[in-house]
Amino acid sequence: MKRYVLAPTVLVLAVLVFAFASPGHAARSVPIQTYGNANLSSYGKLTADQVGDAIIRGGASIGWQMSKVSPGLITATVTGGRNSSATVEIQYSAQEYTIKYRDSINMKAQGGTIISTYNRWVERLQRNIDAQIPRPLK
């Protein structure tokens, strides 16, 4: 009698192990993306200082810790749930800016991939930076 109870239990365990080991479950890992705005000319004539200030305002407004490292370079760190965090480097000039992955904690980064939360965080950062860039007067 016990043998019949054990068989369904083993079957359920096998299905669970397969489900969590399948490629569908691993789909949470995605390629690390580089973000930015490669053409700020549509915003009118800007200075590098204006772009740098917009980057700092855009990140700080959504909880990123912004730090100006040198002219043309800002690092930004955000902390999320489960003790995870991500740090990016933002290189900028009067014409463009680029957001690149630098480091992370508990984001399962390896081999050019990371959990998808990272890309969502950085996409939001980019949108907020773009919203802070001064627009030309019409």
The full set of domains in the chain, from first to last, is: 29-132 (3.30.310.80)
- CA 30 from chain centre, in angstroms, equals 11
| pLDDT value for 81 | 83
| pLDDT value for 5 | 52
As a whole number of angstroms, the distance between CA 103 and CA 101 comes to: 6
What is the chain's alpha carbon radius of gyration, rounded to the nearest angstrom? Answer: 22
Q: What is the pTM of this model?
A: 0.78
| pLDDT value for 1 | 52
| pLDDT value for 4 | 53
Q: Is residue 100 a contact partner of residue 89, using CB atoms and an 8 Å limit?
A: yes
Nearest alpha-carbon partner for 54 in 101, 88, 92, 100: 92
Note down pLDDT in tens along the chain; length 138 residues: 555 555 554 444 433 333 343 333 443 899 999 998 878 988 889 999 999 999 999 999 999 999 999 999 999 999 998 899 999 999 999 999 999 999 999 999 999 999 999 999 999 999 999 999 988 766
As a whole number of angstroms, the distance between CA 126 and CA 36 comes to: 6
| pLDDT value for 28 | 83
Nearest alpha-carbon partner for 48 in 114, 82, 92: 92
As a whole number of angstroms, the distance between CA 100 and CA 32 comes to: 9
| pLDDT value for 138 | 61
